[in-house]
Amino acid sequence: MDKGIGMASSGRRVASLGECMIELSGPGGGPFDAGFGGDTLNTAVYLARLGVAVDYVTALGDDRFSTTMCAAWQAEQVGTDHVLRVPGRLPGLYMIETDPTGERRFLYWRDRAPARELFSLPGSPALITALEGYDLLYLSGISLAIWGAEGRATLYALLDRVRRRGGKVAFDTNWRPRLWADAATARAAYSEMLRRTDIALPGASELNELFGDADADAVIARMRAAGVGEIVVKLDPPGCLVCDGGDPVMVPAERGVAVVDTTAAGDSFSAGYLAARLAGAPAAQAARTGHRLAATVIQYRGAIIPRAAMPSLDGL
């Protein structure tokens, strides 16, 4: 019987790796509201709210925006002991412009963001040693893109050591073409990453665009060939196909939900799924938990919903 990916979540050490940026949002031309956001950060916050002990791993500057970010994460019970602070540097910035029809456009300034150098900073050797002791490392395709070839090589070696020790790796494909020099580089990096992945959370449409995989069955075949043991293919229309060693099982998304903002739908799904698996739930049940959390999140504006609206893991 499927026992999940570990003991009760309180007994596991989880780290979410990636980048969080300053966010400016508002109508075209401003004025803009300032906040912050990032895919793996969103997942870390929702994991923490579901009772998982999770640390966020990134690099920031020594500016007040970086300090404010860390304070906000700490208030969410997300650990920040492994956030590297780089003197004289600033985090990345992105702007969301919304036109009168509600369509959003994203503009990025991140080329000098310290998160891109996470594995080559003075504090990186100690960070890498610390990460080797975690039970679950979570990252995304965006994380993979920003670290570059040298950073990815260091990451792959770290993941190999974590898995040899018995730890696991979860990977959300989160394919963003604009972050890659070319598709061939991305395909090679994703292929290397999948060979080091225990739990894959791919989007069927993403893998169609990147690899030309025709459908969810082709995505599963690719993941299995890479050695991934647990696969959750996110589908359009919303739903997922769960494959945990046996035949794939279709798990539909929640229906009849009033959609206000789809920001962080996938990030929160990942958090709900992983939290349920850490608590011992079977994969299909964990997918339902992920869907229910995502269905709650998309009823509110922004990536992180109000605390009062957040359901408990038992409530999902």
Q: Decide: 183 and 177 in contact? Cβ < 8 Å.
A: yes
Q: How far is CA 277 from CA 50, 220, 234, 268, in A?
A: 12, 20, 17, 14
Question: What ranges make up the beta strands (E) of 114-224?
Answer: 136-140, 168-172, 199-201
**232: which strand partners?**
242
Cα 57 to chain centroid distance, Å, stands at 12
CA distance 97 to 79: 31
Q: What kind and span of H or E run contains 292?
A: helix 283-297
Among residues 177, 170, 156, 141, the alpha carbon closest in space to that of 39 is found at 141
Give me 224's structure tokens.
Answer: 């299995």
Give me 297's structure tokens.
Answer: 């999140």
CA-atom Rg of the chain in angstroms: 18
Among residues 50, 239, 43, the alpha carbon closest in space to that of 143 is found at 43
CA distance 257 to 294: 10
Among residues 61, 63, 68, the alpha carbon closest in space to that of 86 is found at 61
User: Between helices 124-131 and 148-164, what is the axis angle to 10°?
Assistant: 30
Q: Is 267 a catalytic residue?
A: yes
Catalytic residue (one of 55, 172, 244, 267): 267
Please name the amino acid found at residue 196: R
DSSP one-letter code for 93: E
Question: What ranges make up the beta strands (E) of the chain?
Answer: 14-17, 21-27, 33-37, 54-61, 83-86, 93-98, 104-109, 136-140, 168-172, 199-201, 230-235, 239-243, 249-252
* Residue positions annotated with a catalytic role: 267
